[in-house]
Structure 1
Amino acid sequence: MIRKLYIVEGIPGSGKTTTANWLAKVLSEQGKDTHLFLEGNPEHPADYESVACLNENQLLEMEKEFPFIRNFGVNKDRWFFISYASLSDSNPDLHKALQKFDVYELSVENFCEVTLLRWQEFAELAEAEDKVYVLECCFLQNPFTFLLAKHNVSAEVIFSHIEKIAREIASLDPVILYFEQDNIKESLDRVRKDRSVEWFEFLTWYYTGQEYGQSQGLAGETGVLHFLEERKKLEKRCLEQLESKSLILNNSNFDWDMCKEQILAYI
C-alpha cells in the first residue's frame, strides 16, 4: 500500500500549520506530487469551507428570490452544494443568503452525513491519483469543534463519526500527526499574537457561548482553555481507538528539530 495521506492535528498554536508546510516541502523534495491544504482553504478536497448545503425544498424556496441559483452549485445525493466564498463580490445578496445554509450550520445528523460523503469522495479521488495529500485540521478539529462545542454531543457519537471517516480513508494508508502541549495557555497566547482580536472573540463565543460552553458555565479565556483541555483529552482518546497510524508529538518546548526528527523517523 502506498501512503497518500498525511493529516496534521492539534490545538491552536501547537505547530500544525508550520509542520504541514514543512512536511509538504519534504515530500515534494522526495519527488512526490504533493498537495497541501491548510485550514480555511475553500478548495479543500476533504472538508467544507464556505459551502452551503440545501435540500430540495430549501432550494425551491431560494429560487423564488434567486432564479438562477442552481447554476452556482452541484447536486449530490439528496443535497445541493454551493461554494459561496467567491460570491461575496459578484453576488453579495446570494452570498449573504447562503450563509445560513452553511454545512457547519446543519443538524448533527445531516452534518455527519454530508461530511462522511465528502471524505468518501476524497478517498476515491486520492486512491485513483498518483498524488500525496497533506491536510490540516479537518479530521479531528472540525468534527470535534462542531459536534462538541456547538452541539455538546457525547464522546461516543463523535468517536463513531470519526471512526467511519477513518474506515473510508484506510486505503490511503493515512498517518495522523497530533501535536499536544502541556501549557495550552502558552500555546494560545502565541497564536493570538498573529491573529486579530476578532478571531479570538469568535473563538471565545464558539467554545463558550454555545451548547457545550453553556452547559459547563464557561466564559472568557478561562472557558476557552477549559474547552481546549477537554478537546485535547478526547482527541487523544479517539486516536487510541482508531486503527489509523498516529504519532503524538509533545511540542511544549517548541523544539522543531526534535519534532521533525520524530516525524521523519515515523513516516
Structure 2
Amino acid sequence: MQPKLILIEGLPGFGKSTAAQLVYEILTEAGNNAQLFLEGNLDHPADYDGAACLTKAEYDELLGMWADSRHILSPRTTFHDGYYLVEYRKIVNEHEPLLPKEWMDTLARKDVYELPLAQHRKLITARWGQFTEMALQGTDTYVFDCSFIQNPVTMGMIKNEAADEYMISYILELEAIIKSLNPLLIVIEQDDLEYAFRKAVQERAQEWSEGFIKYFTTQGYGLGQGHQGLEGTLQVLEARRELEEKIYNGLTIAKKKANNSSYDLNAYKQALAEVLAEYF
C-alpha cells in the first residue's frame, strides 16, 4: 500500500518547506494525486492554525459584546467536544477593517496554541483522528510540512518545558492515530546546525529571527535553562534535536532521513525522489 501521508520534519532552516514542495512536485510529476500543506496553512486538515478555542460562556460573552459582528463570527465557528473553535485569522483576512480590536485580541489570547498543554494535546489528537478518517475515504496522498513532530515539540518542550517522556508519548499517540494511512516520515538533516540556522537568520526577515529567538528563550525550556539571545537559541535547538532523535528512533512507521547540507536543489530533489521511489 502506497503512503497516503508524507510527513516532512527537521529543524528551522534545514529545508523542510523546500523538501515538502519538492516531494509534492515529484509525486504530481509521476501522476499521483497529492495535496500539499505547508507550515502556516490556515486550511490544514490535521492542525489548528489561527483558531481560537472558547467555552460556551466565553463564546456567548463575545457575541453579547459585539452582536453586530455575529454574521462574521458564526460562519467561521465549529463546535467540538464542548468547545467553540473560531478560525479568527481567516476572519481577520476577510473582515479586518470591520472588526473591534478588543474582539480579535480576545480570540488571539484563546488561540489553540496558547491553551494549557493537556487541553491542546486533546484537541490536536482529535483533529488528527478526524483527518485520518477523512483521508482514508479518498485517493490523495497528503504532504505535511512540520505538523507531526515540530508543532507538538514546540508547544510541549519549547513553550511548556514538558519532559522528554511526555513528548515521546504524545508523538507515539499521533503515530497510532495515523498508522492506517501507511505514513512515510522524511526527516531533513544538516551536518552543521549552527551554520544552517545562522544562514536562515541572515536570509529571512529580521522580524522572523527576532520573534523566533524571543519564543525560544523567554518561556518554557529556554527560560528554564537560562538561555538568551541567538547563542541561547542555538543551545535550545541542540536540545530539541536530541529530543527529536529520540522520538525518531522510537517510531515504527516508515521513516527516512535526507541531508540538505549541500543546498544543491537538483541534488536535493534527486535524493528525495530516490526515497519516494521505494514507496511509489
- What is the DSSP-based 3-state SS (H/G/I as helix, E as strand, rest coil) of the residue aligned with 2:199? helix
Question: Could you tell me which amino acid in structure 2 is paired with residue 73 of structure 1?
Answer: T
Q: Which residue does the alignment assign to 1:91?
A: 99
Q: Which residue does the alignment assign to 1:34?
A: 34
- What is the DSSP-based 3-state SS (H/G/I as helix, E as strand, rest coil) of the residue aligned with 1:193? helix
Which of 125, 131, 134 is the equivalent residue of 1:116? Answer: 125
**Alpha carbons 2:42, 2:90 under 8 Å: kept:** no
The alpha-carbon deviation at position 7 of structure 1 amounts to 0.9
Note if 1:127 corresponds to 2:136. yes
Q: Which residue does the alignment assign to 1:205?
A: 214
Which one has the bigger helix percentage? 2
Q: Which residue does the alignment assign to 2:203?
A: 194
TM-score normalised by length of structure 2: 0.90
Note if 1:220 corresponds to 2:220. no
- What is the DSSP-based 3-state SS (H/G/I as helix, E as strand, rest coil) of the residue aligned with 2:32? coil
Q: Which residue does the alignment assign to 2:24?
A: 24
Question: Could you tell me which amino acid in structure 1 is paired with residue 99 of structure 2?
Answer: N
Note if 1:154 corresponds to 2:158. no
**Alpha carbons 1:87, 1:95 under 8 Å: kept:** no
Structure 2 alignment gaps of length 5 or more: none
TM-score normalised by length of structure 1: 0.94
1:122-155 superposed Cα distances (whole Å, 9 cap, x missing partner):
1111111111111101011111111111100001
Question: Could you tell me which amino acid in structure 2 is paired with residue 238 of structure 1?
Answer: I
Bigger Cα displacement from structure 2, 111-120 vs 58-67? 58-67
The alpha-carbon deviation at position 2 of structure 1 amounts to 3.2
Q: Which residue does the alignment assign to 2:177?
A: 168
Question: Could you tell me which amino acid in structure 2 is paired with residue 87 of structure 1?
Answer: I
User: 1 CA distance for matches of 2:189 and 2:146?
Assistant: 13
Question: Could you tell me which amino acid in structure 1 is paired with residue 26 of structure 2?
Answer: V
Question: Could you tell me which amino acid in structure 2 is paired with residue 82 of structure 1?
Answer: V
Aligned residues: 267
- What is the DSSP-based 3-state SS (H/G/I as helix, E as strand, rest coil) of the residue aligned with 1:42? coil
Which of 127, 138, 147 is the equivalent residue of 1:138? Answer: 147
Question: Could you tell me which amino acid in structure 1 is paired with residue 23 of structure 2?
Answer: L
Q: CA RMSD in A?
A: 1.6
- What is the DSSP-based 3-state SS (H/G/I as helix, E as strand, rest coil) of the residue aligned with 1:177? strand
Q: Which residue does the alignment assign to 1:11?
A: 11
**Alpha carbons 1:180, 1:232 under 8 Å: kept:** no
Distance 1:247 1:259, change over 3 A: farther
User: 2 CA distance for matches of 1:70 and 1:261?
Assistant: 47
User: 2 CA distance for matches of 1:222 and 1:124?
Assistant: 43
Note if 1:76 corresponds to 2:80. yes
- What is the DSSP-based 3-state SS (H/G/I as helix, E as strand, rest coil) of the residue aligned with 1:139? coil
1:44-83 superposed Cα distances (whole Å, 9 cap, x missing partner):
1111111111122322332331332444301011221111
Structure 1 alignment gaps of length 5 or more: none
User: 1 CA distance for matches of 2:100 and 2:209?
Assistant: 26
User: 1 CA distance for matches of 2:228 and 2:271?
Assistant: 37
Identity %: 33
User: 1 CA distance for matches of 2:253 and 2:267?
Assistant: 23
Q: Which residue does the alignment assign to 2:62?
A: 62
The alpha-carbon deviation at position 159 of structure 1 amounts to 0.9
User: 1 CA distance for matches of 2:30 and 2:260?
Assistant: 25
- What is the DSSP-based 3-state SS (H/G/I as helix, E as strand, rest coil) of the residue aligned with 2:31? coil
1:174-201 superposed Cα distances (whole Å, 9 cap, x missing partner):
1111012232121112222332111111
User: 1 CA distance for matches of 2:15 and 2:271?
Assistant: 14
- What is the DSSP-based 3-state SS (H/G/I as helix, E as strand, rest coil) of the residue aligned with 2:84? strand
Bigger Cα displacement from structure 2, 98-107 vs 180-189? 180-189
Question: Could you tell me which amino acid in structure 1 is paired with residue 32 of structure 2?
Answer: K
Question: Could you tell me which amino acid in structure 1 is paired with residue 141 of structure 2?
Answer: V
- What is the DSSP-based 3-state SS (H/G/I as helix, E as strand, rest coil) of the residue aligned with 1:75? strand
The alpha-carbon deviation at position 213 of structure 1 amounts to 1.2
